[in-house]
Amino acid sequence: MSDERLLAEAIRSLKTPAIAGFGNPLLDIFVTLNSDDMLNKYSLKVDGEEELPADKIQQLINELPSESEQNISPGGCAQNTIRVIQWLCGGQSGPQLGLFCGGLGNDSRGKILQDMVRAIGIDARYAIHPDLPTGVCVSMVKRPWRSLVANLGAASVYTLDNLAQHDLPLNSLKIIYIEGFFITHSFDVALELVKLARDKGITVAFNISGEYIFQEHQVAICDMVGLSGIVFGNAREMTALARVLNLQFNNVQEIPFLLNNLKRVTVGASSKNDGNWLSDEGIIVMTQGGKSPAIVVWGEGESAQVLPEIPENPVLDTTGAGDSLVAGFLLGALVGRSPKACLKLGCKVASMIVTRVGVTFPESIPAHLLQ
């Protein structure tokens, strides 16, 4: 399929839903602060990420300065990615390409989150847990720094029974996307998804998501890396993975090649020579941040690098950059673009999202993203 084919035209040719995401659905609250008082009171770190108990995070929310600028939007790694994909498909007026599954509380925040996600056209299948609060993440910003605090609540529960109840449309799905945070509590579900995908020839894509989850879940992460057709991670996450696997490297840019080679040796992944690179099992995508190129490696060590796009407007929030790049890459893969073209689309989408607060969207899709 030609990379020049217009994105909208290619999307319309797909069976729907084409991609299902599994992760921790959160309601993101963005707050602009004028002082360090909140950080000092709750002993939070500049540019830090921390989990707080439900009562503590509610107390923090209640004490946010009334004069501070506040915005809410859906959040969570996989949910963000599926939202970006669905937005690129035309939102509610376009084909319902994206499906999302995760745990939600039976509360006002859960209702708000559910309505916001479904409003963009996503087939959102939430497992409702009445005894747990909806997961929330508070992003406190005082430029140039930010500090994130979260409580997963109901987002930390998604069972095999929930999966069975959600009755995945396996005959139309081409990709199942799983975020790393999901396997910290639902690894059994992730393994079942891998099994279902293999039975149906569906590609499994896995995002490592966070360097710190190696501390308690390195075996599960390594298992998912071995079982997934596509693996996403930033340079810090890929470095942590390489060290766990005892891979020797001199430069972080070597790691995607080492992982690709390791997968081909250990699981026999190689180019199938059927013209479909997505059928390979050793696709590794690494971002590096800043001005460094993103890298994709596939097949028998084939590779491409793409420099980040320079945003047309000032950068306001980089939190969703990685999720947005993944969205562009996976959408490109769904419509049959080359690995390099997928990465280019991902970089374009990310450069637009970082000019907004949270993973939020302008009224119309910029024309250059639809080409």
- pLDDT band, residue 7 (cuts 50/70/90): confident
- pLDDT band, residue 273 (cuts 50/70/90): very low
This prediction has a pTM of 0.94
Question: Which of the two residues, 165 and 314, has the higher pLDDT score?
Answer: 165
d(CA 56, CA 66): 18
Task: Say whether 28 is catalytic.
Answer: no
- pLDDT band, residue 267 (cuts 50/70/90): low
Contact 287, 234 (CB under 8 A): yes
Q: Summarize pLDDT for 321-350 with one digit per residue, the tens.
A: 999 999 999 999 999 999 999 999 999 999
Residue 87: its pLDDT value, please? 97
d(CA 209, CA 169): 26
Question: Which of the two residues, 277 and 233, has the higher pLDDT score?
Answer: 233
Return mean pLDDT, the chain: 92
* Cα dihedral 70→76→79→84 (10° resolution): 60
Q: Summarize pLDDT for 240-253 with one digit per residue, the tens.
A: 999 999 999 999 99
Which residues on neighbouring strands pair with residue 206, listed in sequence order?
A: 178, 231
Predicted confidence (pLDDT) at residue 4 exceeds the cutoff of 50: no
Average pLDDT over residues 272-298: 86
Order across the sheet with 26-32: list the strands: 49-51, 145-151, 136-142, 26-32, 69-75
Average pLDDT over residues 80-93: 96
Judged by DSSP in three states, 363 sits in: coil
DSSP type of residue 320: T
Question: Sign of the C-alpha dihedral, residues 49, 323, 338, 369?
Answer: negative
207 φ/ψ angles, rounded to the nearest 5 degrees: -110, 125
Residue 275: its pLDDT value, please? 63
d(CA 290, CA 168): 38
Q: Summarize pLDDT for 123-144 with one digit per residue, the tens.
A: 999 999 999 999 999 999 887 7
Q: Summarize pLDDT for 212-243 with one digit per residue, the tens.
A: 899 999 999 999 999 999 999 999 999 999 99
d(CA 152, CA 135): 4
Residue 363: its pLDDT value, please? 85
Average pLDDT over residues 71-91: 96
Question: Nearest Cα to 51, choosing from 119, 138, 180, 172?
Answer: 138
Q: In angstroms, what CA-CA distances link 289 with 95, 231, 292, 293?
A: 32, 17, 6, 8
d(CA 147, CA 323): 18
d(CA 155, CA 136): 9
- pLDDT band, residue 271 (cuts 50/70/90): very low
- Which residues are CB-contacts of 174 (< 8 A; sequence separation ≥ 6)? 14, 18, 19, 202, 203, 334
Q: Summarize pLDDT for 23-46 with one digit per residue, the tens.
A: 999 999 999 898 889 999 999 988
Residue 144: its pLDDT value, please? 75
| Domains along the chain with CATH numbers | 7-25+76-132+153-369 (3.40.1190.20)
Query: What's the angle, vertex CA 155, arms to CA 171 and CA 127, rounded to 5?
Result: 50
